[in-house]
Structure formats: structure tokens, C-alpha cells
């Protein structure tokens, strides 16, 4: 842990025990906090990408904290409606989950259901229709998990053709992205699976286990339909997880394809959206409005008030390596106060964040 991080934790602890958290909770009670998650851990995914996967115990602790603190957890549509009308209950929270990993149904849904907390799952539909692990994530996971120190790939168009010393971080990174870029540009899913299997073998790993465990796979159409039983509402996140800020035509086409696939599966109208990778710009807001989108969440950190544009909502992306007191500082609005005081809020008309 860095010194800066230790100082921050110390500051939060002092703020909590001097009553600042309680004061902020009162000051920020009319603001809507949207909490964002992605996938959940079956084996070691949270160690691989703590911003993308969360351990079950960590998530259970978060939900317990919400319940203990008496934070009303609202469905997204209800939260957005109350925000617009100025009728939010005090300290309201909305839970959203991005992408549509299998672990949401298998691990998170029963935990949310136990507390009676609703949630929204923003689903990117390409891999829902394919049923295979997310290619770029799978390749990165293999390179992270391997214990071998040098990589000898077979002679293939996707391999860089030279042995790679995996102790050399730059060389490993280049070799990994060469495979991902080639596979994404030139191959179909069947070929990508073959690539993953060959890379796994070269790295001393078993890709079959990764396919079976489904830690890096999304939900199937049938599984998406089962989410409703747990109070989880499926909404939009583009088909291929892209929404280019400089290309409104492609952005609209991504939204429409995503909507067509998901509405066919679910048999109902979808009208809430999450910008993939948090990439958004003001130019895209009219595209969403024309398509009848009611709300859209970004990755910009913050709470929402009545003046927030519903097509550029702030969120707090929770992650596995966020300490309990950091989470509590967000919940109570203490972090929001710091953002307002330091002028970090409301300064941009575009943004992005790291994602799959
Ligand atoms: Zn996403």
C-alpha cells in the first residue's frame, strides 16, 4: 500500500470517528448514489483484475453494509424517476452491474436476493450469442496465470514467431497484444478458441477448465431470462462493447443491435444504457435521446443530484481492492464532499474508464 493510500485511509478514519461521515450523510441525503460492479470471483479472477472481478465475501460485506446502514436500494428506473422528480428517499442507492458475466447469476444474484436488493445488469450481447469466453480477457488471463518463464508459440499467423522471455514485461505485453489484435481483426470465435487453447498449452495451462468454469464467459440467453426471478433487470450496453464518441452512426448501430438481440430474448422494451468502458461525450447524448433512452451511466465518479443529466449519470465503481472505509466514505457522501470542495466534479463533457 502506498503512503498516499495510507494517508487517505487515515483521513477517512478520522472523518468517520469525528462525525464527518454522519454529517455528510445528512448533507448528501437527496443525492442518488449509483454503485457499479462487473464480475465476481469463482477461483482467482479478483487477483487477476480486482477492478473487474470481486470476491464473494467482499460483495457480501458490501451488501451487509448497505443493509446495516439502512440505505434504501432502489431499482434503476425508480431511482432515475425519483431523481428527476425530486422525490428520492434519503440516501438512496442503485446497484448496477456491467457486461453480463455468468458469475452474476451464479454468485451475485442469490446474494442480492437474500437482502431483497434489486439490481440492473447492463449486458453487452455479442458474447451472449456466442457462448465462448471473452477472447481478449481470456488471453490476458492466460498470460497473468502462467508460471512458465518463457513462451514458445507454434508457428502461426497470430504468433509473433519468436520465443518470448516472460520475465521481460514489455516483451510479454507485446506478444500478448499481438495475439489479441490478430485474433480480433482476423478470426471468428471458433478460431479464437483454437488460439486460446494453443496459447494455454504453451503457457502450461488448461483452457478447457477456463471454458467449463465460465469465470470469463457471459450469460446465455436462457440464463438472462432467469435473472428476473432474482429482481435483476437486464438493460443495454452495446453489442460489441464499443460506442465510439467520434462516430455517432456506428454508435447508433451498436445500440440498435444490442437492443434487438436483448429485446428478442427478453420480450420487452429496454431503455436504460451504460456507456461501454465509460467512454462518452456530449455529442452522443442526442443519439441516445433519439433512440428513446431514458438514462445512461458513465464511469465518472460522483453522486447524482436533480441537475445531473440523466444521459450522463455519475457512478461509483466498486472494486475488490477498495477498503471498507473507502466504500463507506463513498456511501456517506464524504468523498463527494471532497470532490465538490476540490473542484473535481462537473468539469468535463466526456470521459472514459478501464473496462474489458
Ligand atoms: Zn462494460
Average pLDDT in the 61-82 region? 98
CA of 341 to the centre of ligand 1 (A): 30
Determine the distance separating the centroid of ligand 1 and the alpha carbon of 278, expressed in angstroms: 8
Residue 349 has pLDDT above 60, yes or no: no
Q: Separation of 243 CA from ligand 1 center, angstroms? A: 11
Residue 343 pLDDT > 90, yes or no? no
Confidence tier at 354 by pLDDT (50, 70, 90)? very low
Whole-number Å distance, alpha carbon 122 to ligand 1 midpoint, is: 8
Please state, in angstroms and rounded to a whole number, the distance separating the CA atoms of residues 6 and 1.
7
CA-CA distance, 312 to 295, in Å (whole number)?
8
Query: Residues 161-194: pLDDT tens digits?
Result: 778 888 889 989 999 999 999 999 999 999 999 9
The mean pLDDT value of the chain amounts to 94
What are the beta bridge partners of residue 295?
272
Q: How far is the CA of 50 from the centre of ligand 1 (A)?
A: 15
Domain coordinates in residue numbering, the chain: 3-130+232-351, 135-213
Q: For the chain, how long is the longest CA-to-CA vector?
A: 64
Q: What is the pTM of this model?
A: 0.94
Tell me if 15 sits within 8 A of 21, measured CB to CB: yes
Residue 344 has pLDDT above 90, yes or no: no
Tell how strand 150-151 and strand 272-274 pair up. Answer: unpaired
Centre of ligand 1 to C-alpha 99, Å, is 5
Beta bridge partners of 95: 35
Q: What is the mean pLDDT of residues 262-267?
A: 97
In tens, the pLDDT along 213-257 reads: 999 999 999 999 999 999 999 999 999 999 998 899 999 999 999
Å from CA of 275 to ligand 1 middle = 7
Ligand 1 centre to CA of 236 (Å) is: 10
Model confidence at 353, pLDDT cuts 50, 70, 90, reads very low
CA of 241 to the centre of ligand 1 (A): 6
User: Which residues 6+ apart lie within 8 Å of 336 measured at CB?
Assistant: 24, 28, 31, 302, 303, 330, 345
Query: Grid coordinates in use for 169?
Result: 514485461
Candidates 2.40.40.20, 3.40.605.10, 3.20.20.370, 3.50.50.60; CATH matching 3-130+232-351: 3.20.20.370
Q: Mean of the pLDDT values across residues 94-106? A: 98
On whether the CB atoms of residues 33 and 93 are closer than 8 A, the answer is: yes
Kindly give the distance from the C-alpha atom of residue 299 to the centroid of ligand 1, in angstroms, as a whole number: 10
Which pLDDT score, from 0 to 100, does residue 356 have? 41
pLDDT tens digit string along 74-91? 999 999 999 999 999 999
**Three-state DSSP class for 329?**
helix
Confirm if 181 and 157 have CB atoms less than 8 A apart.
Answer: no
CA 74 – CA 97 distance, rounded (Å): 14
* Span 287-335, pLDDT tens digits: 999 999 999 999 999 999 999 999 999 999 999 999 999 999 999 999 9
Residues less than 5 Å from ion ligand 1, measured at CB: 98-99, 276, 355
Q: How far is the CA of 333 from the centre of ligand 1 (A)?
A: 25
Helix axes 20-27, 334-341, angle to 10 degrees: 80
Distance CA 60, CA 42 (A): 14
Distance 353 CA to ligand 1 centre (A): 10
> Are the beta carbons of 279 and 355 closer than 8 angstroms?
no
pLDDT category of residue 350 using cuts at 50, 70 and 90: low
The model's confidence at residue 33, banded by pLDDT at 50, 70 and 90, is very high
- CA–centroid distance, 352 to ligand 1, in Å, is 11
Amino acid at each position: 500500500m502506498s503512503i498516499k493510500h495510507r494517508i487517505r485511509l487515515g483521513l477517512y478514519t478520522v472523518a468517520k470517528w469525528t462525525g464527518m461521515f454522519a454529517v455528510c450523510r445528512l448533507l448528501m441525503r437527496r443525492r442518488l448514489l449509483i454503485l457499479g460492479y462487473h464480475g465476481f470471483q469463482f477461483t482467482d479472477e479478483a487477483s487477476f483484475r480486482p477492478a473487474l472481478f470481486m470476491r464473494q465475501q467482499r460483495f457480501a460485506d458490501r451488501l451487509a453494509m448497505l443493509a446495516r446502514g439502512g440505505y434504501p436500494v432502489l431499482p434503476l428506473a425508480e431511482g432515475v424517476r425519483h431523481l428527476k422528480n425530486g422525490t428520492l428517499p434519503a440516501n438512496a442507492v442503485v446497484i448496477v452491474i456491467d457486461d453480463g458475466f455468468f458469475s452474476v447469476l451464479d454468485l451475485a444474484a442469490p446474494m442480492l436476493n437474500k437482502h431483497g436488493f434489486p439490481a440492473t445488469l447492463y449486458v453487452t450481447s455479442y458474447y451472449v450469442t456466442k457462448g465462448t469466453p471473452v477472447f481478449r480477457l481470456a488471453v490476458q488471463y492466460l498470460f497473468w496465470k502462467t508460471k512458465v518463464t518463457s513462451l514458445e508459440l507454434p508457428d502461426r499467423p497470430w504468433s509473433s514467431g519468436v520465443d518470448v522471455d516472460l520475465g521481460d514485461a514489455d516483451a510479454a505485453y507485446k506478444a500478448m497484444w499481438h495475439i489479441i489484435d490478430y485474433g480480433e481483426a482476423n478470426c471468428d470465435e471458433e478460431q479464437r478458441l483454437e488460439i486460446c487453447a494453443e496459447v494455454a498449452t504453451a503457457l502450461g495451462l488448461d483452457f478447457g477448465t477456463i471454458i467449463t468454469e465460465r469465470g470469463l464467459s457471459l450469460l446465455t440467453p436462457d440464463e438472462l431470462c432467469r435473472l428476473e426471478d432474482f429482481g435483476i433487470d437486464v438493460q443495454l450496453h452495446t453489442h460489441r462493447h464499443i460506442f465510439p464518441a467520434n462516430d455517432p452512426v456506428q454508435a447508433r448501430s451498436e445500440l440498435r443491435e444490442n437492443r434487438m438481440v436483448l429485446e428478442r430474448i427478453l420480450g420487452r422494451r429496454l431503455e436504460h444504457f451504460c456507456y461501454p468502458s465509460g467512454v462518452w461525450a456530449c455529442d452522443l447524448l442526442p443519439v441516445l435521446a433519439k433512440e428513446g433512452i431514458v438514462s445512461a451511466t458513465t464511469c465518472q465518479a460522483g453522486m447524482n443530484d436533480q441537475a445531473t443529466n440523466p444521459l450522463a449519470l455519475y457512478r461509483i465503481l466498486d472494486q475488490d481492492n477498495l477498503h471498507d472505509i473507502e466504500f463507506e466514505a463513498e456511501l456517506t457522501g464524504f468523498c463527494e464532499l471532497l470532490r465538490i470542495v476540490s473542484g473535481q466534479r462537473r468539469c468535463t463533457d466526456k470521459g472514459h474508464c478501464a473496462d474489458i
